[in-house]
Amino acid sequence: MKRGTIVGILLMLPVAWTQAADQATATTVRDAVVNDMRSLVAGDKGPKIKPHFIPLPPGAVRPTGWLNDWARDAAAGITGHLDERAEVFKHGYKGYHFEARGVKAPGVGWPVEQCAYWLDGLVRLAYILDDPQLIAKARARLDLVVNGVNNGGESFVYWQPRGILSVEMDKFNGQFNNWAHSHMGRALVAYYQATGERRILDALVKVYRDYPLPEFSPVFYPVNGMVNLDAMLDTYMMSGDEKVLANALAAIRRPSFEKIVAQWNDGKIVHGHTVIFYENIRVPALMYPWTGDRKLLDATLATIRWSDERHGLPIGLVSGEEYLAGIGSTRNVETCNVAAGPWTFGSLLRITGERGWADRMERVFFNAGPAPIARDFQTMSYYQSPNRLSLSLPCDRPGCPGNALGDSYRFTDIGHPVLCCVGNSSRIVPNYIMGMWMATADRGVAATLYGPCRLRAQVAGGVPVEIESETAYPFEEEIRLTIRPAAKADFPLYLRIPAWCQQPSLKLNGQTVAVRKDSKGFAKLQRCWTPGDRVTLRLPMRVEIVKGRETPFPQDKYFTKRSLSRQTDVNNPFESVNYGPLLFALPIADETPDQPVKDAVCNYALDVSTTARNVQVLRQTLPEHWSWQLNAPLKLQLSARQFDWQPTELQPLPAAPIKDGKPATITLVPYGCTKFRVSMFPVAESKRSDP
């Protein structure tokens, strides 16, 4: 059945139909949206370079097991209740003025950005969990936007004329309104995908047919409205309205855009704000499929390589003390980046099909994801850092006590006086869950990210299928899939084989089959599937010791007035410990997320060979309820040396390997289970030799 037919029927039902609709109807609506996108990709109006994967709507993937525990805690915590905690989230997008930091009368400015982040995460989680209360809350706010546009509003800031988005009229606020608009666009795309309601797509098409995309900027500050391309291109994929695509193509034909692409491909990249960096760098790549111009994809890839080399941290993200901050054990990562980074990696996964982007998404989610959020999901912090030994070491950076951004390390119910990160934290869990499975143009599905979940989708030209993923991954190595098509169906099933896994194994209905990876790192199983077929994928993990060195802060104006940035000879060695997708850390037990236990001992240097042959892996069952407990189900025991170490902000790690010290055995846990920790370790001058 075509989407238009389904939507026509639905429009005759009450507006609140989704709250009463049964699972079968909701699934049919979602499938219709995905099939429209599949059809466009395959047809003449599709992209010149066909994307490898097509996203599935909120609700197609349901979390189970430990992942469901975490999602339910998010719903009961910050994500589900931000509007009860701050005026920004209580009043944003209601179309009137209210008093809050950064509000520009009437009701626009900085807070529309913060509220859009939250609404995007809220609507996704609401339909993922099929939670009536969350759905009602999301619909009440998003319907104001949809109806406002359809009743004459000129943009998603529907209560104001379009000039409110103009950089020429008001440079700073015009940029923020334009940027905030892009994030509301993403929320409305998710809302339409979850419900199939034509009025939502009508609003998206109306706005994006002639939306005033601004000039792109090579500088990662201030914010830039070109990131509306995410929602704009998805709107085209769902509607096929050619004016939407024409508007996007016109924006990148500007000489200024072409100049930036050339600069990035030449390695001429400047430092700047990390959230803006992660949002902006994907813009050229987004347009690569629609132009076929490889330079656009290459420009995005060049910026990522540049950032990894100069600012990459073991958690899978680059540093971001607002601005890119180099490599260091006490360099911070703004929580906004835990959402923004994987969104860009997910876009590149869709476009290229390369497994490495999914590997990075898992690394961020399992490590950086839980670190800045309290175990009960009621409070969060603005920053996290690879090593956190106390509430904060004395320092003179923004975010330190008494400085410009206040105490950015402390866990509070709204995270910080600046509310962008608490809003963005609501995206972390639902975006991962939605990305666990994707549709393929050849009428199959792909397991792109792993964890316990249940997929409901259509395959083989319209056959409903349910796939159950039973696993405690990443705390175990085995993933057990049960495939239940409504009838026998021939379709491809793609399984990602992570780059860190050297010896994967695969069984089909108990029989071993060869793991044949394609050039993108996925194993393809093409067959006629029958209800109850079982696939068992085993991904053996191994300990990996990663060596690196701390680097100076960037020598730019954001840091130059601070004592830390005047250190230009930083070259301290460190080692980190990985096991599969998990980063491991020496845990410092905590009384609260802001209070470590007294007299905790953490003055150790790693004393392990690069082959890590003597590391012991300890396993225990998952607890009944998963909330990233410090007593983790997976631990590592390894050799270390205890030595006299008094870290400071100016000297966070020793400048050279430790030559002496008392031999010791330490036990590490996954980084995400800790609130205080060491994950970038001092290095012992090893007396061991690798073979």
* Contact (Cβ atoms closer than 8 angstroms) between residue 178 and residue 227: no
Section 317-323 average pLDDT: 95
Confidence of residue 471 (pLDDT cuts 50, 70, 90): very high
CA distance 470 to 524: 20
pLDDT, one tens digit per residue, over 564-587 is 677 788 999 999 999 999 999 999
Return the pLDDT at 645.
94
Confidence of residue 472 (pLDDT cuts 50, 70, 90): very high
CA distance 266 to 54: 31
Residue 301 confidence (pLDDT) above 70 = yes
Residue 336 confidence (pLDDT) above 60 = yes
* Contact (Cβ atoms closer than 8 angstroms) between residue 491 and residue 443: yes
* Contact (Cβ atoms closer than 8 angstroms) between residue 638 and residue 616: yes
Confidence of residue 2 (pLDDT cuts 50, 70, 90): very low
Strand-pairing partners, residue 489, are: 529
CA distance 420 to 36: 34
pLDDT, one tens digit per residue, over 377-416 is 999 999 999 999 986 554 555 555 545 455 788 898 886 7
pLDDT, one tens digit per residue, over 519-559 is 999 999 999 999 999 999 999 999 999 999 999 999 888 88
Cα R_g (the chain), whole angstroms: 25
Task: Judge residue 256's burial from the number of C-beta atoms within 10 Å of its C-beta, 0-12 exposed, 13-18 middle, 19 or more buried.
Answer: exposed
Section 26-32 average pLDDT: 83
Taking all residues of the chain, what is their mean pLDDT, rounded to a whole number?
A: 91
Strand-pairing partners, residue 286, are: none
Return the pLDDT at 532.
98
Residue 122 confidence (pLDDT) above 50 = yes
Residue 51 confidence (pLDDT) above 80 = yes
Task: Judge residue 644's burial from the number of C-beta atoms within 10 Å of its C-beta, 0-12 exposed, 13-18 middle, 19 or more buried.
Answer: exposed
Section 256-284 average pLDDT: 97
- SS3 for 93-111 is CCCCCCCCCCEECCCEEHH
Q: Which CATH superfamily is domain 437-538 in?
A: Golgi alpha-mannosidase II (2.60.40.1180)
Task: Judge residue 160's burial from the number of C-beta atoms within 10 Å of its C-beta, 0-12 exposed, 13-18 middle, 19 or more buried.
Answer: middle
Section 434-438 average pLDDT: 98
Q: Where are the domains of the chain?
A: 437-538, 555-678
The tokens describing 263, both together, are: 């600069």
Cis amide linkage into residue 663, ω under 30° from 0 = no
Q: Lowest mean pLDDT: which of 451-455, 513-517, 555-559, 624-628?
A: 555-559
* Contact (Cβ atoms closer than 8 angstroms) between residue 127 and residue 102: no
Residues in the chain, overall count: 691
Section 322-338 average pLDDT: 96
pLDDT, one tens digit per residue, over 171-220 is 667 888 999 999 999 999 999 999 999 999 999 999 999 999 999 999 99
Section 132-147 average pLDDT: 98
CA distance 323 to 332: 10
Residues whose CB is less than 8 angstroms from the CB of residue 78 and which lie 6 or more positions away in sequence, other chains included = 85, 373, 377, 378, 379, 380, 413, 422, 425, 426
* Contact (Cβ atoms closer than 8 angstroms) between residue 62 and residue 197: no
Confidence of residue 613 (pLDDT cuts 50, 70, 90): confident
pLDDT, one tens digit per residue, over 504-519 is 999 999 999 999 999 9
pLDDT, one tens digit per residue, over 476-503 is 999 999 999 999 999 999 999 999 999 9
Cis amide linkage into residue 474, ω under 30° from 0 = yes
- Give the rounded percent of residues in the chain with a pLDDT score beyond 90: 82
* CA proximity to 276, closest of 223, 321, 341: 223
Section 37-48 average pLDDT: 93
- Give the rounded percent of residues in the chain with a pLDDT score beyond 70: 92
For strands 103-104 and 108-109, give the pairing: antiparallel
CA distance 512 to 534: 12
DSSP states of 146-164 as a string?
HHHHHTT-SSSSTTS-GGG
Map tokens 């936007």 to a residue: 145
The tokens describing 395, both together, are: 């320092």
Torsion of CA 433, 436, 439, 442, to 10 degrees: 180
Q: What is the DSSP letter of 227?
A: G
pLDDT, one tens digit per residue, over 354-388 is 999 999 999 999 999 999 999 999 999 999 999 99
Cis amide linkage into residue 106, ω under 30° from 0 = yes
Q: Lowest mean pLDDT: which of 68-77, 255-264, 591-600, 632-641?
A: 591-600
Return the pLDDT at 12.
35
